[in-house]
């Protein structure tokens, strides 16, 4: 079983304590009424689905119950890093 | 192609069976084809077969990264049914179920389609109401589906535990008698053999690395590990890898790829006469002709291309199976594996033209693509040959994610996702 590091609990915990929350860093539009259909489609449905590093949301449901983000390789399922909600994806220039 | 027949088998018996030709000889790719299909699974090989057999388009290549039938065609649990809730889905899946009938004869290859019935168990009041609604919707669409009481379920499937104090009490079930199973490898092999006999080239171990487009945006062909291959029309039938292939053509797709696991037990004598699914406890089971119990469940939680999954999913599945079928608690499991399924937001497939001229797609079948193999292949061939969708697959377009006309089988819960 995969061990996932919760950045809030600062512990490696088994995967079954967590739930998956989909791709990370998809911000809800600031002005929803201004979006056209194509932009709504992109926001709601288009996902990167990469073969390789994937930034995604996880929730420590049976622990602290908080959402956090992780970068996981989708080919090996190895977690590269986990980080708190609101922090930039590690490696991204800001 | 040398036909399989009683007479030929008899004659070959005296010849040490040395007179059978190779079914699909290795081919070096030609410089160009009329149509290229990416992905040599059941759907892709079938599309090539129908292009040749129904539309006379024989200058076709099927290009495959791995080996023929080695993806989800060889990794599924071979369940066939068409008891979907919405009209569009019922028409689409029933088109396939109708084609399963007679497929062995058409291909001259035994795909071992067995109408042993698919029984979906109801464990609570919500299940009963939902399944009865499905039954009525199905019958309005000409799809057979009937309600069985718990006792009738037990009569149809004797290993079932219908005790009132069971952990997951069986309150009844919905039975589609035309549902059943087929031999998954035979489907891929039968289509491959039929397609090659009509002039189709199957090129294995040849990953597509790019899609070349002209100044007008239309496709010119594919870049592969074996060089550039030209084609004015390209059909993509690449299951879990579809979004990667589409990105080569500059298209972002509403797909995510998840591992779906399955497992088989050691082979035993015939004990399990049908397919039983339980969406509430998330497991399904049947017995293959080899005697293995074939067991599956829902997808793993996260996006992955790893073709394996987490063990706790299997534990959960087997716990459910053992509760419903206490008779199997001491069965030993032989193999587990995973396939990568491409899942759309509404859990319905995309079988359509794309915004790129000459590029067609058949994807998004999620956890239930095998049952649709002949239908999807036929409709992809139709869409490519006519450069327009058939009425059956017209609703399964890409525009629905923009205009909101989703075919929301995800919410309809006809499927154990």
Domain ranges of chain A: 3-84
Cα–Cα dist B357/B387, whole Å: 9
* Pairwise CA distance, residues B219 & A47, whole Å: 24
Cα angle: B50, vertex B250, B259; to 5 degrees: 65
Chain A touched by B319 (CB under 8 Å): no
Q: Which neighbouring-strand residues pair with A70?
A: A56, A82
ipTM: 0.95
In this structure, how many other beta carbons lie within 10 angstroms of the beta carbon of residue B290? 10
Pairing mode, if any, of strands B333-343 and B293-299? Answer: unpaired
Question: One digit per residue, pLDDT tens: chain B, 417 residues?
Answer: 889 999 999 999 999 999 999 999 988 999 999 999 999 999 999 999 999 999 999 999 999 999 999 999 999 999 999 999 999 999 999 999 999 999 999 999 999 999 999 999 999 999 999 999 999 999 999 999 999 999 999 999 999 999 999 999 999 999 999 999 999 999 999 999 999 999 999 999 999 999 999 999 999 999 999 999 999 999 999 999 999 999 999 999 999 999 999 999 999 999 999 999 998 888 899 999 999 999 998 899 999 999 988 999 999 999 999 999 999 999 999 999 999 999 999 999 999 999 999 999 999 999 999 999 999 999 999 999 999 999 999 999 999 999 999 999 876 554 444
Q: What is the DSSP letter of B142?
A: T
B203 beta partners: B63
| Short-list B390, B301, B40, CA closest to B185 | B40
Contact B310 A15 (CB under 8 A): yes
The whole-angstrom separation of Cα B37 and Cα A86 is: 43
Closest CA to B193 of B45, B70, B17: B45
Is the CB of residue B174 less than 8 Å from the CB of residue B33?
no
Which among B33, B96, B58, B47 is positioned nearest to B384, based on CA atoms? Answer: B47
Q: What is the pLDDT of residues A44-90, one digit of tens each?
A: 999 999 999 999 999 999 999 999 999 999 999 999 999 999 999 98
- The per-residue pLDDT for B414 is 46
CATH code of the domain made up of A3-84 = 3.30.2270.10
Distance CA A21, CA B401 (A): 21
What own/partner pairs with CB < 8 Å and gap ≥ 24 does B395-400 have? B395/B88, B396/B88, B396/B92, B396/B348, B396/B349, B396/B350, B396/B351, B396/B352, B397/B350, B397/B352, B397/B353, B398/B254, B398/B350, B398/B352, B398/B354, B398/B355, B398/B361, B400/B346
Q: Under DSSP, is residue B156 helix (H, G, I), strand (E, B) or coil?
A: helix
Residue A7 DSSP class: T
In three-state secondary structure terms, A71 is strand
Q: What is the Cα–Cα distance from B35 to B12, expressed in whole angstroms? A: 36
| Distance (Å, whole) CA B300 – CA B313 | 7
Candidates B349, B339, B376; CA nearest to B262 is B339
From the list A20, A41, A51, which residue is nearest B305 (CB)? A51
Please check the confidence at residue A94 and state whether its pLDDT lies above 50: no
Q: What percent of chain A has pLDDT over 70?
A: 97
Q: List, as ranges, residues 56-85 from A with C-beta within 8 Å of B.
A: 56, 72, 74-77
Question: How many beta carbons lie within 10 A of that of residue B9, not counting itself?
Answer: 11
CA distance B264 to B294: 5
Structure tokens that stand for B136 in this block: 């009525």
Q: Which of residues 4-63 of A touch B (CB under 8 A)?
A: 15-16, 19-20, 23, 37-38, 40-42, 44-47, 49, 51, 54, 56
- Cross-chain Cβ contact A49/B311 below 8 Å: no
B261-318: pLDDT as tens digits = 999 999 999 999 999 999 888 889 999 999 999 999 889 999 999 998 899 999 999 9
Compare all CA atoms of chain B with the CA of A51 and give the residue at the minimum distance: B305
B163-177: string of b/e by CB count within 10 Å (b at 16+)? eeeeebbbbbbbbbe
A17, B310 contact by CB (below 8 A): no
Picking from A45, A54, A59, A73 by the largest number of B CB atoms within 10 A of its own CB, the best residue to mutate is A45
Query: Six-digit token pair at B362?
Result: 């058949």
Average pLDDT of the residues of chain A? 94
Count CB-CB contacts under 10 A for residue B20.
12
- Best CA proximity match to B34, nearest among B227, B248, B219: B219
From the list A41, A45, A77, the residue facing B304 with the nearest CB is A77
């Amino acid at each position: 079983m995969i061990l996932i590091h919760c950045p809030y609990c600062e512990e490696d915990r088994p995967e079954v304590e967590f739930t998956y929350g989909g791709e990370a860093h998809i911000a809800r539009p600031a002005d929803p009424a201004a979006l056209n259909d194509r932009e709504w489609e992109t926001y709601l449905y288009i996902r990167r689905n990469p073969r390789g590093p994937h930034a995604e949301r996880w929730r420590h449901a049976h622990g602290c119950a908080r959402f956090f983000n992780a970068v996981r390789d989708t080919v090996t399922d190895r977690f590269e890093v986990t980080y708190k909600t609101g922090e930039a994806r590690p490696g991204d220039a800001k | 192609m040398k036909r399989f027949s009683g007479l030929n088998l008899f004659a070959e018996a005296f010849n040490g069976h040395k007179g059978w030709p190779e079914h699909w000889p290795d081919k070096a790719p030609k410089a160009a084809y009329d149509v290229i299909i990416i992905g040599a699974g059941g759907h892709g090989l079938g599309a090539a077969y129908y292009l040749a057999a129904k539309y006379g388009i024989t200058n076709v290549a099927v290009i495959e990264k791995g080996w023929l039938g080695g993806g989800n065609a060889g990794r599924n649990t071979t369940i066939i049914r068409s008891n979907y809730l919405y009209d569009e889905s019922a028409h689409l899946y029933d088109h396939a179920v109708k084609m399963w009938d007679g497929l062995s004869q058409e291909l001259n290859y035994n795909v071992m389609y067995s109408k042993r019935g698919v029984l979906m168990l109801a464990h609570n009041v919500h299940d009963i109401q939902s399944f009865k609604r499905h039954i009525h919707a199905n019958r309005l669409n000409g799809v057979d589906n009937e309600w069985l009481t718990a006792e009738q379920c037990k009569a149809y499937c004797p290993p079932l535990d219908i005790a009132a104090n069971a952990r997951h009490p069986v309150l009844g079930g919905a039975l589609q008698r035309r549902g059943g199973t087929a031999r998954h490898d035979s489907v891929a092999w039968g289509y491959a053999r039929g397609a090659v006999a009509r002039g189709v080239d199957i090129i294995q171990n040849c990953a597509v690395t790019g899609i070349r487009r002209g100044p007008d945006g239309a496709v010119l062909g594919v870049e592969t590990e074996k060089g550039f291959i030209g084609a004015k029309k390209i059909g993509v039938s690449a299951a879990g890898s579809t979004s990667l292939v589409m990105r080569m053509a500059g298209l972002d797709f509403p797909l995510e790829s998840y591992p779906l696991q399955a497992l088989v037990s050691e082979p035993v004598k015939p004990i399990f006469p049908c397919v039983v699914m339980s969406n509430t406890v998330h497991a399904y089971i049947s017995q293959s002709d080899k005697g293995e119990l074939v067991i599956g469940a829902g997808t793993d939680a996260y996006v992955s291309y790893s073709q394996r999954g987490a063990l706790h999913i299997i534990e959960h599945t087997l716990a459910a199976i053992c509760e419903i079928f206490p008779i199997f608690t001491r069965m030993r499991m032989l193999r587990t594996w995973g396939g990568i399924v491409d899942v759309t937001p509404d859990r319905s497939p995309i079988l359509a033209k794309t915004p790129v001229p000459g590029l067609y797609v058949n994807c998004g079948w999620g956890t239930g693509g095998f049952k649709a193999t002949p239908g999807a292949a036929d409709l992809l061939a139709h869409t490519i040959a006519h450069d327009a969708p058939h009425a059956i697959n017209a609703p399964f377009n890409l525009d629905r994610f923009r205009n909101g006309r989703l075919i929301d089988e995800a919410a309809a819960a006809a499927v154990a996702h």
